[in-house]
């Protein structure tokens, strides 16, 4: 890591709010849009958030998102929206939030449940399917089987451009409810998403992108928007500017450190689940070959080749090394997805399909069950 990058990370204060600042029995209250608010050394103004988060850009058309001084962007509260999507059953899916903007219908009780899971994620968390088939709903059903005589809650929070900085903030906000487990669903695009907050908080300037580079991106995005959103745009950026991948991984490591500190204060375990991009979905060699062929043209337009995919695995390896150094469990979902009998990603958007959601929920539930059994044994 270069001295300049170390200096930038020193300037990047991702310190969580003190655990003693909120009672474990207090309801959570998210700040409403307004004047800049400093939380844990961070602050977002509406203008800064518009620069850092695509959901808030002037030309953004998705009605689900709003400015928040702590997260930058979050889901609007009390939503019930029917959204068109070609992968959704019947061409539409319902997106719902509670009064806190959590991706769930249930409201939080003033007194926290006996046990909880906090599930956070970025673009990987979004799945245009029936609400009963989402990761949160499936996880809630799994926990219900464990908690026949006690209350539980599954808190689901995210936005497409959230990254590790927002995940750390989410745990500082909801940590007073003492979740037993914080599950972070992440992937390659999250690393690029983390650059916006990084540049904002450090004042560093991103490298200049050439007109040819931007023109190639615009041309590819016009024809293959889903492929670009699911990781190709990130691969293009980090291939053209490999120093930005170093910056993104260093910023992610800094936020993982904050996440670990906050988790320790609230006796919360962390599991990072890496959702692989591009070629997941079937162990069938013909399907994989067809997927590679479908990507050949957008790769050519972006000036990329199959060998560039190695950068994704390199990024995962380095992120997992950072997690290991902090004693955070990290799980690569690629083997689980590859062994699945059903399609785990949707054909057009490459978002998780119901079967993929079920596999992710199962992985989280397995980790939770071990932690819950250990806690039960300690309290007997």
pLDDT bin (cut points 50, 70, 90) of residue 286 is low
Contact 164, 126 (CB under 8 A): no
Number of H helices, E strands in the chain: 14, 11
DSSP 63-87: TTEEEETTTEEEEPSS-EEEEE-TT
pLDDT at 292 over 90: no
pTM: 0.86
Task: For residue 28, give the 3-state DSSP assignment.
Answer: coil
Q: Which of 60, 35, 13 is nearest to 200 (CA)?
A: 13
Domain boundaries, the chain: 115-379
Q: CA–CA separation, 37 vs 54, rounded Å?
A: 21
Q: Convert the pLDDT of each residue in 214-260 to its tens digit.
A: 999 999 989 888 777 778 899 999 999 999 999 999 999 999 999 99
Domain 115-379 has CATH 3.40.50.1110: yes
**Whole-angstrom Cα distance, residue 265 to residue 286?**
49
Distance (Å, whole) CA 92 – CA 90: 6
Please list the residues that pair with 38 across neighbouring strands.
43
What would the pLDDT profile of 86-136 be if each residue is shown by its tens digit?
888 888 888 999 999 999 888 999 888 888 999 999 988 988 888 899 999
- Tell me the per-residue pLDDT of 316-370, one tens digit each, with 9 for 90 and over: 999 999 999 999 999 999 889 888 888 888 877 778 899 999 999 999 999 999 9
Residue 254: Cβ-neighbour burial (10 angstroms; 0-12, 13-18, 19+)? buried
Describe the crossing of helices 3-11 and 242-265 by its angle, rounded to 10 degrees: 40
Q: What pLDDT is stored for residue 31 in this prediction?
A: 35
């Amino acid at each position: 890591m270069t001295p300049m990058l170390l200096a930038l990370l020193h300037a990047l204060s991702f310190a969580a709010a003190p655990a003693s600042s909120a009672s474990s029995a207090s309801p959570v209250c998210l700040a409403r849009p307004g004047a800049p608010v400093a939380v844990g050394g961070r602050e977002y103004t509406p203008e800064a958030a518009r620069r850092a988060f695509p959901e808030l850009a002037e030309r953004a058309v998705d009605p689900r998102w709003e400015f928040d001084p702590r997260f930058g962007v979050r889901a609007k509260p009390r939503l019930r929206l029917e959204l068109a999507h070609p992968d959704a059953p019947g061409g539409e899916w319902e997106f719902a939030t509670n009064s806190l903007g959590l991706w769930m219908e249930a409201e939080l009780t003033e007194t926290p449940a006996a046990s909880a899971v906090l599930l956070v994620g970025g673009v990987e968390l979004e799945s245009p399917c029936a609400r009963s088939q989402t990761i949160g709903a499936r996880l809630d059903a799994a926990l219900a089987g464990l908690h026949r005589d006690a209350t539980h809650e599954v808190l689901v929070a995210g936005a497409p451009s959230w990254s590790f900085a927002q995940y750390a903030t989410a745990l500082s906000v909801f940590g007073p409810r003492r979740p037993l487990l914080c599950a972070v669903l992440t992937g390659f695009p999250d690393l690029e998403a983390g650059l916006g907050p990084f540049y904002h908080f450090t004042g560093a300037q991103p490298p200049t992108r050439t007109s040819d580079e931007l023109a190639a991106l615009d041309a590819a995005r016009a024809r293959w928007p889903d492929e670009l959103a699911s990781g190709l745009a990130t691969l293009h950026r980090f291939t053209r500017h490999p120093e930005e991948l170093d910056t993104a991984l260093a910023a992610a490591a800094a936020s993982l450190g904050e996440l670990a500190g906050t988790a320790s204060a609230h006796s919360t375990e962390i599991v990072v689940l890496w959702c692989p991009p591009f070629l997941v979905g079937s162990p069938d060699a013909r399907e994989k070959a067809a997927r590679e062929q479908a990507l050949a043209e957008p790769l050519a337009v972006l000036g990329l080749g199959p060998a560039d995919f190695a950068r994704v695995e390199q990024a995962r390896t380095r992120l997992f090394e950072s997690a290991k150094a902090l004693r955070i469990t990290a799980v690569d979902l690629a083997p689980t997805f590859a062994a699945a009998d059903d399609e785990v990603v949707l054909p057009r958007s490459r978002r998780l399909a119901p079967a993929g959601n079920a596999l992710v929920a199962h992985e989280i539930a397995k980790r939770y069950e071990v932690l819950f059994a250990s806690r039960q044994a300690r309290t007997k």
